Structure 1
Amino acid sequence: MNPVWHSYLQHRGAIFREDCIVSYGNAAAELESTRSANVLSDLSHFGLIHFWGEDAETFLQGQLSCDIRRATTSTASYGSYCNPKGRILATFLIWRTTGDGYLMQLPAILLAGIQKRLAMYVLRAKVKLADSSGAWVHIGVAGPHAAALLRKILGEIPVVPLGVRHGERGSIIRLAEDRFQLLILPEQAPTIWEDLSRNATQVGKPCWDWLEIRAGIPHILPATQEQFVPQMVNLDTLGGISFQKGCYPGQEIVARTQYLGKIKRRMYLANVRPAAGDLPIEAGDELFSADLGEQSAGMVVNPASSSDGGTDLLAVIQTSSVEAGEIHWKSLEGPALGIMPLPYSANQ
């Protein structure tokens, strides 16, 4: 995080843990606000890799699961970067800049490793890549009046989900009907934050994580790297896989998984209420069901505290186990997951 921006947010009451804002002093109240009010969140836990050069599009098309031609200056795309076995190394959001390049947004904790790996495959291609995280301040805005609030402060905004609009002070991406992400020039960020905070509650990273989970958007983290093929985390439904374009790492496995028929594991939205004294639920925790006995039935992708109590999570689970009965956290004796509907219909 930009040190000047870090100091500014600290002055605004931010409480940091490992360079992420956990709250502004009242985590429970912030989570309750996130359920129905306008909220404002720093998104510095995401990093940006900038790709540019005359071969940037061709290079990315040969490395990523999505069709990079769908990532334009006005539309962003979800996607994944896989190993040769088709297992996901990172999920991301990508869009084209107003210049000749692309910005790939992914969890900052993965950025250095993914950038290094992609750089190995540049070879003679006329493309360069660099960490561009410090060039922008990431801000998330969500809530029933988020669109009106942003329109008042920044002018025109994207009208459709994943729409992108570039302006003099930065870019706006519409993630959903009532959720937006801003990339603002650092010198402009404090003024914009103060203007937004007059009508939106400041909230920490856990609140934004919860919104992403309820939206069904997966984020691969170190504990879940190389665990899933893209369809398992619903990237086919989210537009993050192209089955018509050419080769990329893992493409044959991803295509074979699709054309063999029904995907055996899918990502579900669920709530679980651990007993008092249990350790926190974490990405990578295994799930179990009676029909598979001691064999793992699934894995937690992303967890976050829920405003309704307990923990909401995204988890990749054996579809037959979900159909057969209860799924349990960590062991067959662990608390049961309550499966909830996703905001979209996952392809089966």
Structure 2
Amino acid sequence: MPLHFPKGRSVISVTGEDAEHFLQNLVTCDVTTIPAGSARACALLAPQGKVMFDFLIMPDGDGGYLIDIDGRLAADFLRRLTMYKLRAKVEIAEADESLAAISWQDDSTTGGRIFADSRFPAELGVSRHYGAAPESADDAAEWTALRIAHGIAESGSDFEAGDAFPHDISLDQTGGVDFRKGCYVGQEVVSRMQHRGTARRRIVIVQAETALPASGTALEAGGKTVGHLGSVAGNKALAIVRLDRAKAAMDAGTPITAEGLAVTLSLPPGVTYSWPDSAKDGGD
């Protein structure tokens, strides 16, 4: 069973009789349908629709919720939730437990509380362990490779908070956006992108013959930037790219490169989006 011991994650608890209603009216996913023992991708948006905070959310078993978030965003996230609290009967605080480990390719338990990471296919057995985990070597590189193989982007590694729409980072593919529930912050913009099909930036998998350069390196085609590398593992990486620009380059036989290294782009497995039928450079 591979194990990764992530650093710098925070866990926030939202409890109280209004916890479900409070979160349902704020965040992008449907918190009312998260199965027990499961963690779902979710986000809190700016009114303009950009992702301010991405996280995993899970029922705590007592009517409240736990939120697993990048520790660098935690303080601002707590302040934002508190700002929206008003008269809601909720308590918002740092949780006593923390993310201890992430495991995959195994169904066994290891102590502590365990939640299935629903961003990944169930057969992979990806689980997040809170409070306790076995001693083991850290398979950090393998975890990054697993995320890349399945197109799972995370802030800090693949995008910065405030720079991406939910569609850009595949929240619509992983259950992180619900298009049928009521309003939430930024919902109008995201729904319009969904129903008009105007999302042009998407997650792709980048591959080269040799090791790729560092995260943040521009992907270029014919002198134009089509995206930037995110998480990198050897000769593979994630990137958020303009599909129209990348497709135009591929159709024209124009090489796509990262610091001069030729790369190929492919869509993650199982996504519902596709390359444009006819690629036109629509500008920024």
TM-score range, shorter chain: 0.7 to 0.9
Check conservation: 1:140, 1:179, Cα contact below 8 A: no
Aligned to 2:64: 101
Query: Counterparts of 1:1-348 in structure 2 under 5 Å?
Result: 38-132=1-95, 134-143=96-105, 146-147=106-107, 150=108, 169-173=112-116, 175=120, 176-185=122-131, 189=132, 193-194=134-135, 197=136, 202-221=137-156, 224-272=160-208, 281-282=214-215, 284-290=216-222, 293-294=223-224, 296-300=225-229, 302-306=230-234, 310=235, 312-324=236-248, 325=250, 326-329=255-258, 334-348=260-274
Q: CA deviation at 1:184?
A: 4.0
Displacement after TM superposition at 1:243 (Å): 1.3
Residue identity matched to 1:170: R
- After superposition, the C-alpha distances for 1:28-79 in whole angstroms (9 at most, x for unaligned) are xxxxxxxxxx312213443211111111111111211111112242433212
Asked if the contact 1:82/1:90 (under 8 Å) is kept, the reply is yes
Q: Which portions of structure 1, spanning 4 or more consecutive aligned residues, are displaced by more than 4 angstroms?
A: 272-275
Q: Name the aligned partner's letter for residue 140 of structure 1.
A: I
SS in 1 for 2:192: helix
Identity of aligned residues (%): 29
Residue 282 (structure 2) aligns with: none
Indicate if the aligned counterparts of 1:70 and 1:77 stay in contact, CA closer than 8 A. Answer: no
CA contact (8 A) 1:266 1:317 kept: yes
Query: Which ranges in structure 2 are unaligned for 5 or more consecutive residues?
Result: 275-284
Q: Which has the higher helix share?
A: 1
CA separation of 1:182 and 1:220: change in aligned 2, threshold 3 A: closer
The alpha-carbon deviation at position 346 of structure 1 amounts to: 3.1
Q: Structure 1: which 5+ residue stretches go unaligned? A: 1-37, 155-168
Partner of 1:157: none
User: C-alpha separation between the residues in 2 aligned to 1:137 and 1:267?
Assistant: 26
Deviations 1:105-132 (A, max 9, x none): 1222222222222221111111121122
Tell me how far apart the structure 2 counterparts of residues 52 and 122 of structure 1 sit (CA, whole Å).
12
Which residue type is aligned with residue 338 of structure 1?
T
Question: 1:154-194 deviations in whole A, cap 9, x for unaligned?
Answer: 6xxxxxxxxxxxxxx42242554223324343xxx3xx514
SS in 1 for 2:181: coil
- Number of equivalenced pairs: 265
The Cα shift of 1:338 comes to 1.9
Q: Offset at 1:341?
A: 4.3
Q: TM-score, normalised by structure 2?
A: 0.82
CA distance in 2, matches of 1:40, 1:205: 8
